Amino acid sequence: MAEENQQNTANMHAAPSADKSQDTQWQRDALERLASSALTEQRTARRWSVFFKSLTFLYLFVLMLVALGLVGGAKKDFKEHTALIDISGVIQAGGDVNADAVMSSLRDAYENKGTKGIILRINSPGGSPVQAGIINDEIKRQKKLHADIPVYAVVEDICASGGYYIAAAADKIYVDKASIVGSIGVLMDGYGFTEAMEKVGVERRLMTAGENKAMLDPFSPVNPKHQALAQTMLNEIHEQFKTVVREGRGARLKENDETFSGLFWSGEQSIKIGLADAIGSADYVAREVIKQENMVDFTYQDDLASRIAKRIGASVSATIGDVLARQLVNAGEVKLR
């Protein structure tokens, strides 16, 4: 009995010792895992840091080469080819299709010794008559300087309004049978909110210096004088458009009362009325008309630095605009146009 009591006492003393040993081991294991995890995170962070530093260095190196003219922007003379210039999208200053970009493409194409013909591949619903007019003038100017290099417009889905304004300067216009061509007209659109303001009880408080400064203000009733002035301006621009089309198409144009009404036609029908010359894709024109199947794209593209600068500039402008807008709201001087 005494021996049994001694054994139990020994076991009671041994159990706490074993538990303590297990606790110590668990803590040691946990510390090791934490230390290992911290080291892994440090190594990962170090690798990403090296990667981004290397990427930044590479980017700065490329920018330096561009600045020195060693890469990008260097003009290269290709073997004999057809020059391709895409005019795709809305025509507007600062947009994807603008006069500066297209004129730059035209100059590069004409100055290249291997260019045997130029294709303007058009897919545009129109846009600014000013930008389209500048491009039209540049095409005609370059044609006089390089009479041996023909210029052809090739319409894909749509060549309407300002898009056709540009196409009219080409020697010939090729279309797909299902293309949309025409819309030779000018518009100015807007909205009137006077009745809506009356319903919600909003009073318009407008102050101007100059009797016509608030011309076509959407929050004021229609002023017949302003409406007449705007219509006169639209008619004048429309006449300019009609002149460009008549000069560009010449005797091929079968003019009638609807030609300049703003209507548009299928590619197949546009050939019948003289707005286009034949069915043909860019590949067809290069291969069968210019006889240079090899096409080189001269469409203007912003370089990497310019694209990044534009995005940064747009972001900064938006931020500054938000700040100024909040300040103007507080001052009660907001004008949303």
In CATH, what number is assigned to the domain containing residue 254?
3.90.226.10
Helix (H, G, I), strand (E, B) or coil at 117: strand
At which residue do the structure tokens 């100055």 appear?
111
| CA dihedral for 237, 243, 245, 247, sign (positive or negative) | negative
On whether residue 322 sits in a domain, the answer given is: no
Tally of structural domains, the chain: 2
Final residue in a domain of this structure, among 23, 39, 73: 73
Residues of the chain with pLDDT > 90: what percent? 51
Same domain, 20 and 139: no
Same domain, 45 and 181: no
Output the average pLDDT for the chain.
80
Range of the domain at 137: 81-191+236-302
Same domain, 163 and 287: yes
Going by the DSSP 8-state scheme, the letter that residue 251 receives in this structure is G
End-to-end CA distance of the chain: 104
- Provide CB contacts within 8 A for 113, sequence distance 6+: 77
Compute the average pLDDT of residues 16-23. 58
Final residue in a domain of this structure, among 13, 47, 73: 73
Same domain, 93 and 64: no
Same domain, 17 and 142: no
Same domain, 165 and 96: yes
Q: What type of residue is 178? A: A
Same domain, 277 and 178: yes
Helix (H, G, I), strand (E, B) or coil at 269: helix
Model confidence over 155-205: pLDDT tens digits?
999 999 999 999 999 999 999 999 999 999 998 887 777 777 777 788 777
